[in-house]
Amino acid sequence: MSALLQQTPSWGTAIWFILAAVVLLAVLLGFVTYAIYFERKVIGWMQLRIGPNRVGPLGLLQTVADVAKLLLKEDIRPKDADKALFTLAPILAYAPAFAVLAVMPFTESIQFADLGIGLLYYIALSGITVLGVITAGWASNNKYSLIGGLRSAAQMISYEVPLVMSVVGIVLLTGSMNLREIVEAQRDVWNIVPQFIGFCVFIIAAQAELNRSPFDLPEAESELVGGYHVEYTGFRFAMFMLAEYVYMFGMGTLITILFLGGWLPIHPALDFIPGIVWFILKFSLYVFLQFWIRATMPRMRVDQLMSFAWKVLLPVALLNILLTAVVVSYQNGMF
């Protein structure tokens, strides 16, 4: 796809990008719709329940009905809220979640932009979502919303530090921040093997970044009514929920690329299977892990959450960088 876009004229390039973005958005909306459905089904089976089974065959239209209900709800805006920021916050939360997918190589030929610093682009852009959370808490003019926004921002910023540190080892091993080159460097062995410590840190920090169990404190329904989005209804509330699941899509894609070999097969003998099939299988494994964790693990206390980030994950991530640097230096004959 990227090669095709480079060969077409400027107007053709623009049209191709627009069409590709529309297709990607459709795929994302389909993923979100049925990720929610399968999440409810899988958790139901794990907890000896049935899950959605009324709307449509096998309950397949339950999420569609839920989305329609949200879109039809009245759009309520508090009288004393900051109108401009109140409107902007959901956009700040969602837009980066969609934009980070521009640099993701799903296969050797399916990618929007092949940036030399694709990994840095993802890290930098995903951090903007924190601004959306803080803005939502502040603009609502609600003390519970403000406290929820500050607490959610503290969690996301705290876990972003070990998240970034955990991928430094991969950059040291491959010598590149280009996501395509990182995948190609895993033809002999996937990064999950030499970077298993980094993988563990990354997947735990990713849970907190996604606000998923057991780090789903931003929901805060037990003590802060509803957290930073307590004053949001209808479509604006749906955008916050959409951002969470789109980030799940993005994080699953990133983990597949960084640690699981992307589109590469598990063995060279299976190279005849299309790369997109391998990518989807690895990606689906991560998504199922999300559902499994939510069904089995209780929510942490906020003090435990913050202590774990700074006192456990960050030192382990730094240790992983040190060990990787030593190994790389030894391989390069520096000592």
End-to-end CA distance of the chain: 44
Give every CB contact of residue 215 below 8 A, 6+ residues apart in sequence: 155, 159, 207, 208, 299, 300, 305
pLDDT of residue 46: 93
Region of residue 107 (left: phi > 0; alpha: psi -120 to 50; beta: else)? beta
pLDDT of residue 246: 93
pLDDT of residue 193: 95
pLDDT of residue 3: 45
Burial of 22 (0-12, 13-18, 19+ CB in 10 A): exposed
pLDDT of residue 221: 67
pTM, rounded to two decimals: 0.91
pLDDT by 10-residue block (mean), the chain, 335 residues? 49 80 90 94 93 92 92 89 93 92 90 89 92 93 89 92 96 94 94 96 94 82 75 90 92 96 92 94 95 90 90 96 94 78
pLDDT of residue 222: 67
pLDDT of residue 204: 95
